[in-house]
Amino acid sequence: MSDLKVRFAPSPTGYMHIGNTRTAVFNWLLAKKLGGKFMLRIDDTDVLRSKKEYEDALRDILVWLGFNWDEEARQSARMARYDEVVARLKAEGRVYACYETAEELEVMRKKLMTKGLPPIYDRGALKLTAEQISAYEAEGRKPHYRFKLIPGNIDWDDLVRGHCHYDAANLADPVIIREDGSYLYHLPSVIDDADFGITHIIRGEDHVTNTAAQIQMFEAVDGKIPTFAHLPLLTGKEGKLSKRLGSLGVRELRAEGVEAMAICSFLAKLGTSEAIEPFYDLETLAQSLDLTKLGRSQPKFDEEELKTFNTRFVRNMPYDAVKGRIKSDEAFWNAVRGNLNVVDDVNEWEQICHQTVKPVIEDKALTDVAAELLPPEPWNSETFNAWLAEVKAQSGKKGKELFHPLRKALTAQENGPELKTLLPLIGRDRAYKRLKGIEA
């Protein structure tokens, strides 16, 4: 499906949170799996809240996640195109002016709900006379504009939700242009998707009703209707994840040492029938993508679960995945990774094994004996066990009374990788001095 084309269309009105990152993950993986194209579209029609710092941050996160894009566009540069299409739709009667104030619309909505009716706009604006319109304009009212839906069934087969059906008579004509002349999301998105040849739209299920109206918009602009996939929304501690509610951002996770591939692995399988397992490259993860395995219920995103998963991810991480980021060689990485929570923790063990450490002596008689029994180098995998057997025999110590004082003297730590792994990395000279209580 080399003609497949998806888009990730964030609004730069806040930092990327886990919810919209998940949307990016699914779009990028689908394009990768099927050999299609991934487009980045900056939906910056909200001039007041859109900020360059947010756009720069989201681009940085996409690159960090490993997502390249084949094409990009920004809506603020396409206003003339939207105006051109709207002018035609006005002439065709599909876009019409409305003069109700927000307060008046709210009163109408409440009256309908009180009667047990759906709060659907009554198209009162279409009944206004020229005199009424002149009167509104004379008092300073500026119109907002709606897209007129045509009565009838709206159907599509969703890759996640299955067959979807709406009756246009039960939908309100969506507002597409505000009183100040700025565009809302609906129509510009459709125009862009049609113009740029988007074949598949993967987004949150909060857009399902939008999709019903937008299908008619695609038809109105003579665009090909894409295939839709609506992902169940992630929930967090405050409910629906939202950048406005201060949900956990990817920037914060990155700063805390959570790996990009851990995030991608976790989000790609969260809410599916598959186990959440570590993937160490995007190509392999993409080939595993199967939208039919997504459940319909809203999965809960738990920050602590992700961090626990990240620990498992790091402790099984192959050296090839980190060799450009750390100073350690493969042998050292493999020796200590089982005790790391984040990759940068390797630096602590580099310090312990190769730099100066102030030893903690808990049992001087034991560590003195242990120091004198250290065999000459070179050491191999059998050295530690042979040395420990002699220390045990000479000191009469065993179990924690034996191991703990040795660990504290050699590493100054309560826990860590097995001493049989660390001892050759520390080396005889440094080990001897530390066992004797000398900083080394």
Write the DSSP assignment of 240-304 as a string of letters: E--GGGTPPBHHHHHHTT--HHHHHHHHHHTTBSS-----SSHHHHHHT--GGGB-SS-PBP-HH
* pLDDT the model gives residue 246: 43
Same domain, 315 and 263: yes
State the residue range of the domain holding 392: 356-435
Is residue 143 situated within a structural domain?
Answer: yes
Same domain, 164 and 249: no
Residues 304 and 376 in one domain: no
Q: Are residues 282 and 149 in the same domain?
A: no
Query: Which of the listed residues 303, 321, 339 is the one where a domain comes to its end?
Result: 321
Q: Can you give the CATH number for the domain in which 422 is found?
A: 1.10.10.350
Confidence bin at 248 (pLDDT 50/70/90): low
Mean of pLDDT values over 142-149: 98
Which domain CATH number covers 255? 1.10.1160.10
pLDDT the model gives residue 245: 42
Residue 352's identity, in one-letter code, is I
- Of the residues 274, 300, 321, which one is the last residue of a structural domain? 321
Long-range contacts made by residues 429-432, C-beta under 8 angstroms, separation at least 24?
Answer: 431/371, 431/374, 432/371, 432/374
My answer on whether 61 and 209 are in the same domain is yes
3-state helix, strand and coil shares in percent for the chain, rounded to the nearest 5? 50, 15, 40
Mean pLDDT of 328-345: 95
Query: Has residue 54 been placed in a domain?
Result: yes
Q: Residue 165: is it exposed, middle or buried by C-beta count within 10 angstroms (0-12/13-18/19+)?
A: exposed
Predicted local confidence at residue 380, as pLDDT: 84
Whether 338 maps to a domain, the answer reads no
Counting beta carbons within 10 angstroms of the beta carbon of residue 205, is it exposed (0 to 12), middle (13 to 18) or buried (19 or more)?
Answer: middle
Whether 261 shows a pLDDT value over 90: the answer reads yes
Residues 254, 284, single domain; the answer is yes
Q: What is the DSSP letter of 413?
A: -
Going by their DSSP bridges, the two strands 175-177 and 144-147 should be labelled as antiparallel
Residue 156 three-state SS: strand
Write out pLDDT tens, residues 164-176.
Answer: 999 999 999 999 9
- Whether 68 and 207 map to the same domain: the answer is yes
How would you list the strands of the sheet with 37-42, edge to edge? 5-8, 37-42, 71-74
Collapsed DSSP state (helix, strand, coil) of residue 351:
helix
Instruction: Please say if the pLDDT value at position 10 is more than 70.
Output: yes
> Are both 369 and 397 inside the same structural domain?
yes
Domain total in the chain: 4
- Residue holding tokens 């703990």? 404
Q: Residue 185: helix, strand or coil by DSSP?
A: coil
* pLDDT higher than 70, residue 240: no
Same domain? For 41 and 116 the reply is no
Q: How far is CA 332 from CA 170, 347, 350, 402, 421, in A?
A: 65, 11, 8, 25, 9
Residue whose token pair is 């191991």: 403
- Per-residue pLDDT, averaged over 163-190, amounts to 96
Q: pLDDT above 70 covers what percent of the chain?
A: 97
pLDDT of 1 strictly over 70: no
Q: Are residues 68 and 190 part of one domain?
A: yes
Look at residue 204 and tell me if it is in a domain.
yes
- Give SS3 for 4: coil
Nearest-angstrom CA–CA distance, 404 and 267: 40
Enclosing H/E stretch for 154: strand 153-158
CB 314 within 8 A of CB 283: no
pLDDT of 259 over the 80 cut: yes
Helix intervals (H) in 281-397: 282-287, 303-315, 330-336, 346-354, 364-372, 383-395
Cβ(312)–Cβ(292) below 8 Å: no
One domain for residues 243 and 309: yes
- Ranges 119-128, 242-251, 404-413: which has the least confidence: 242-251
Question: Where is the domain boundary, 306, 321, 336?
Answer: 321
CA angle in degrees (0–180, nearest 5) for 205-147-159: 25
pLDDT in tens, 268-317: 999 999 999 999 999 999 999 999 999 999 999 999 999 999 999 999 99
pLDDT at 242 over 90: no
Mean pLDDT along residues 195-213: 97
Beta-sheet pairing, 95-98 with 144-147 = antiparallel
Higher per-residue pLDDT: 4 or 243? 4
CATH code of 222's domain: 3.40.50.620
Q: What is the pLDDT of residue 236?
A: 79
pLDDT value at position 381?
Answer: 79
What number is the average pLDDT over the span 358-384? 94
Q: Is residue 340 part of a domain?
A: no
User: For the ranges 45-49, 88-92, 361-365, 416-420, which has the lowest average pLDDT?
Assistant: 45-49
Q: Is the pLDDT of residue 382 over 90?
A: no
Token pair for 424 = 């050759």
Instruction: Say yes or no: 221 and 249 in one domain.
Output: no
Q: Is residue 349 part of a domain?
A: no
**Inter-helix orientation angle 260-269/303-315, to 10°:** 120
Q: Is residue 350 part of a domain?
A: no
Helices (H) and strands (E) in the chain, counts: 18, 12
Q: Is residue 344 part of a domain?
A: no
Peptide bond into 378 cis (omega under 30): yes
Q: What is the spatial distance between Cα 328 and Cα 141, in angstroms, rounded to a whole number?
A: 69
Record the tokens describing residue 425, joined without a space: 């990395």
